[in-house]
């Protein structure tokens, strides 16, 4: 899938204060490892998402570095405790400098 990477994110629309919610994210990306060779024997340059972060109202929630052994279309599932309404901002950083982002609002009652 050599199309522009497109994130999919699932966050509950609402939650109770102090509730632990589960966030799921998936992004389409080929995660080319840099170890493979093309038909002419030339190395296919590495192109992976190397960093993923999630912030809530500007505060870090989760982040990780990705390495070449991670397979295509990386999927993350993690949980967070929410105490106030706000916005999750999710960011994927590509080797070529591209940044893919997604924002999800949540209402906390």
Q: Which stretches of the chain bind another protein, using CB under 8 A?
A: 1-3, 6, 8, 10, 24, 26, 28, 31, 71-73, 75, 77
Closest CB 4 distance from another protein, rounded Å: 10
State the nearest-atom distance from the C-beta of 83 to another protein, in Å: 25
CB of 11 or CB of 93, closer to another protein: 11
Residue closer to another protein, measured from CB, 8 or 105: 8
CA dist 87 and 106 (Å) reads 6
DSSP 30-94: --B-S--B-TTSPBPPPB-EEEEEEEETTEEEEEEE--TTSPSS-EEEEEEEE-S-EEEEEEEEE
* Smaller CB separation from another protein, 43 or 71: 71
Q: What minimum distance in Å lies between the beta carbon of 20 and another protein? A: 18
């Amino acid at each position: 899938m050599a199309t522009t990477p497109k994130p999919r994110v699932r966050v509950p629309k609402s939650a109770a204060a102090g509730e632990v919610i589960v966030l799921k994210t998936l992004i389409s990306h080929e995660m080319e490892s840099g170890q493979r060779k093309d038909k002419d024997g030339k190395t296919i340059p590495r192109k992976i998402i190397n960093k993923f972060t999630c912030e809530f109202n500007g505060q870090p929630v989760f982040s990780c570095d990705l390495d070449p052994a991670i397979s295509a279309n990386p999927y993350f599932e993690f949980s967070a405790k929410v105490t106030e309404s706000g916005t999750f901002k999710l960011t994927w950083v590509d080797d070529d400098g591209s940044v893919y982002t997604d924002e999800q609002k949540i209402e906390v009652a």
